[in-house]
Amino acid sequence: MTMAVVREDLDPAEVEAERALFEPLTTAVRELVDATIRTLVPRDEILSVTEQLNGLAQRLRARELPGGFGVRFTGAGAIRNHGNAVVGLRNAFAPPLQVETSREERSAWSEFVLGAPYEGPPGLVHGGVVSLLFDQVLGEAAIAAGVPGMTANLAVAYLRGTPLGALRIEARVDRVEGRKVTVTGELSDGDGVTATAEGLFILPRTAAAWKT
C-alpha cells in the first residue's frame, strides 16, 4: 500500500506540462465512461471497441505506480491530488470540479455539470454522489480557512431530488474549536437549494504536513 505524502520539486512550468499531458487523456477516458453507459451501437462494434480498449489499457500499464496516486506537494506547497474522485486531474470519474476558495470568507464553491455517470433515480443525481461532492467541497473550505482535517462526521439533508445538469455547490467554515472544524454547505440547481450538509473535520495529530 502506497501511503506517500510526497513532496516533489516541480516548478510551475512542470506542473503545467503535467496538466497539459494528462488532462486530455483523462477527458478521453471520461468520455468513455459516459459513452459506455449511453451507447446504442451494435454488438459487433461493442466487441471491437472493447478489444482495442483492453490493448490501450495494457499500454498505459506498461509502467505504473504500485498503488494510488496519493497526495503530493510541489516545492511551492501546491497540492496535487490528481487521483481524487471529485477534483482529480487524472480521475475520469471526477467531473472534475474546479473548486474556488476564499481564505477571508473561509469558503469554497464550484459550478459544474453532471451527466449520466452520476445518475441515481432516473434523471436525478445519485444521493451518494451528492454526499461525495459535499465531503470534498466542505473539506476544501476547511483547507482554505487554514484549518484542514479529515472528515469525522458528515450529515446530508436531501430537500428534493437534484436533477442531472448544471449545479452549484458552496461551503463555509462555521466554527473552529482547536483541531475540530465545522463546515456547512448547500447544493443548488437553477431553482434553488436541493440539499444541505454539515461536516465535522478533525486534523489528525500526525498530519502536520497537511498544513501547507
Q: Does 120 bind a copy of itself (CB under 8 A)?
A: yes
Distance CA 183, CA 118 (A): 24
Q: Cα 119–138–21 angle (5° rounding)?
A: 70
Select from 97, 73, 77 the least CA-distant residue to 85: 97
Least gap, CB of 34 to a copy of itself (angstroms): 8
135 binds a copy of itself per the rule CB under 8 A: yes
Is the sign of the CA dihedral 146, 147, 148, 154 positive or negative?
Answer: negative
How many Å apart are CA 51 and CA 144, to the nearest integer?
44
Tell me the closest approach of the beta carbon of residue 152 to a copy of itself, in angstroms: 6
Residues 64-93 that bind a copy of itself (CB under 8 A): 64-65, 67-71, 82-86, 88, 90-93
Which residues, 6+ apart, have CB-to-CB distance to 172 below 8 Å? 105, 106, 107, 108, 141, 183, 184, 185
Q: Is 166 in the site for a copy of itself (CB under 8 A)?
A: no
Q: Is 156 in the site for a copy of itself (CB under 8 A)?
A: yes
Q: Is 117 in the site for a copy of itself (CB under 8 A)?
A: yes
Q: Tell me the closest approach of the beta carbon of residue 94 to a copy of itself, in angstroms.
A: 9
Residue 175 found at the interface with a copy of itself (CB under 8 A): no
Q: 3-62: which residues touch a copy of itself (CB under 8 A)?
A: 3-5, 21-22, 24-26, 28-29, 31-33, 35-41, 43, 45-50, 52-54, 56-57, 59-62
Q: What number of other Cβ atoms are within 10 A of residue 86's Cβ?
A: 24
CB of 132 to a copy of itself, least distance (A): 3
